[in-house]
Amino acid sequence: MEVVVAKTAGFCFGVKRAIEQVYEQIAEAKNQVYTYGPIIHNEQVVEDFERRGVKIIHTEKELEEICEGTLIIRSHGVGKHIYDLLNKSRITVVDATCPFVKKIHRIVEEQKSTGRRVIIIGDPNHPEVEGIRGWGDETTLVVQDESQIEGLALSPDEKLCIVSQTTFNYNKFQDLVEKFKKRGYDILVLNTICNATQERQVEARRIASEVDAMIVIGGRNSSNTQKLYEICQKECKNTYFIQSLGDFNPECVNSVRSVGITAGASTPNQIIEEVHTNVRAKF
């Protein structure tokens, strides 16, 4: 029996950096440490921070009520108006925004200033996309699927700049870009999908196509993990989405000859290793 673990599974650079910054603040801060939203989309990691005294701020109203302490901006980033709000406060700010997300913020702000309408390819309800949109203006749009393109009220001579959520499905991004190009718009396309995301998706697709069962590990709210699950499910009908070893059902691999394992960018190596060890023990 064979168990294949994706080499790209687990923490990406941006997530690792954000987590390290939180631990540093826990060790060094002399007052309360806050994060603006969950620092990453992983319940186990967030719960560990909470046990260590970190408090999560969910709304702007809560943010305005903080008089002192250290606030850490989540890895997904925030809109410009949040920075403006923080600049008026007396709290210490630590920016843990992923550098690749920060790059998109700069692109959106720059392209907006040149007169191009920015189109963000991604999930409109995801905090990363909400933050990216916060660097645009009232004309900035978010598109998640083909059906939304048909309903866009764009003038034929409009200049567009298309960017992507860092964790979006690369093939789907390309398909949506082609739909825009066929309409004849003046388009500047900037593929802002993180390289680590693309590599993770390519490897997951390959492994899933070669095994009898596939296990995808990650938080339920993790966009990149959900994309991995969708990709693997197309290649392997026996694909299972779990958050931790506690969700793993050994029966799903009892009658197979090979199992593949991958994990989202917010999944700790410890969880991946626990699942790997448990799967091998079943064979």
The reply to whether 68 belongs to the active site is no
Long-range contacts of 59-66 (CB under 8 A, 24+ apart): 60/85, 63/36, 63/89, 64/89, 66/34, 66/91
Helix (H/G/I), strand (E/B), else coil: 75: coil
Q: For residues 39 and 150, give the distance between their C-alpha atoms in angstroms, rounded to a whole number.
A: 35
DSSP 77-122: ---HHHHHHHHTS-SEEEE---HHHHHHHHHHHHHHHTTPEEEEES
Q: For residues 258 and 143, give the distance between their C-alpha atoms in angstroms, rounded to a whole number.
A: 38
Q: What is the DSSP secondary structure assignment for residue 245, as one 8-state letter?
A: G
Task: Determine which one of 60, 64, 68, 128 is catalytic.
Answer: 128
CA 154 to chain centre: 29
Give the burial class of 188: count Cβ atoms within 10 A of its Cβ; 0-12 exposed, 13-18 middle, 19 or more buried. Answer: middle
22-33: burial string, b at 16+ Cβ within 10 Å, e else? beebeeebeeeb
User: Please, are residues 217 and 271 in contact by the beta-carbon 8 Å criterion?
Assistant: yes
Gyration radius of the chain over CA positions: 20
Percent of the chain as helix, strand, coil, to the nearest 5: 45, 20, 35
Active-site residue list? 128
